[in-house]
Amino acid sequence: MIAFWILALLMIASAVFTVTAKKPVYSVVGLLANFVCLAALYLELQAEFLAVIQIVVYSGAILILFVFVIALLSSGVRPFDVGPNRAPHILYPAIVIAVLALAGMTVSALRTPVAVVQLPVGQTGDANAFGSVGNFGTALFTTNLLPFEVTAFILMVAVIGVVLIAGDEDPTTGVVRRRKRPGAREPIVKSEPTIR
């Protein structure tokens, strides 16, 4: 009970930090905290497999990808920093409308009770308990086999797309696309030490 409120506060704080941080690296740290808290919430909701996936895929793979891209981009000319807000003159009315909408959503969510199906007592930790790896795998490979194959297809399309978009060579013509970035630093060439 108290764990939920602590985790909820941590998640909201880290989400706000992610969105308001000045530099993308700080945002990544905030997002990492958010994902770890979310994994803990998944554990509390008895979604063990999803908690592990959350840590491995999100915190492990996606965030590392973000860090790599930030390191790649900020090695260049100017710091990869943030400009001012996009539309300052509509900021305050937008904030008012958004907070009202959020309050409405939250209150209606809290006012609508959801009937909870009780799980059998003492089943937690069992190999086939609700949300365990066995339970999830059985559901994934029997009733939901098609969605599983669709995920495999999506990942393959993503890999091919990334290579097509960001690869050095145009795969249809074999032409190397890499060209010098305007304003990029010259590589530092060590001159021979002069002997006086």
Partner 1 sequence: MSVAPENYIALSAVLFFIGVVGVISRRNPLIMLMAVELLFNSANLALVAYARAWANNAGHIFAFLVITVAAAEAAIALAIVAVTFRRTPFVDVDEVSALKG
Q: Which is nearer to partner 1, 97 or 190 (CB)?
A: 97
- Segment 32-91, which members bind partner 1 (CB under 8 A)? 34-35, 38, 41-42, 44-47, 49-50, 53-54, 57-58, 61-62, 65-66, 69-70, 72-73, 76-78, 80-83, 85-86, 91
DSSP string, 82-139: --S-S-GGGHHHHHHHHHHHHHHHHHHHHHS--PPPPPPTT-TT-TTSTTSHHHHHHH
Give 93 or 182: the residue with its C-beta nearer to partner 1. 182
Per-residue contact flags (x/-) with partner 1 for residues 118 to 157, judged by CB under 8 A: -x----------xx---xx--xx---x--x--xx--xx-x
Of these, 149, 161, 169, 171, which contacts partner 1 (CB under 8 A)?
A: 161
6 is a site residue for partner 1 (CB under 8 A)? no
Long-range contact pairs involving 23-32 (C-beta distance under 8 Å, separation at least 24):
23/80, 23/81, 23/82, 24/66, 24/70, 24/80, 25/67, 25/70, 28/63, 28/66, 28/67, 28/70, 31/63, 31/66, 32/59, 32/63
Indicate whether 176 belongs to the interface with partner 1 (CB under 8 A).
Answer: no
Contacts (CB under 8 A) with partner 1, residues 16-35: 16, 18-19, 21, 24, 27-28, 31, 34-35
CB atoms within 10 A of CB 51: 20
Q: Which of 93, 113, 125, 187 binds partner 1 (CB under 8 A)?
A: 113
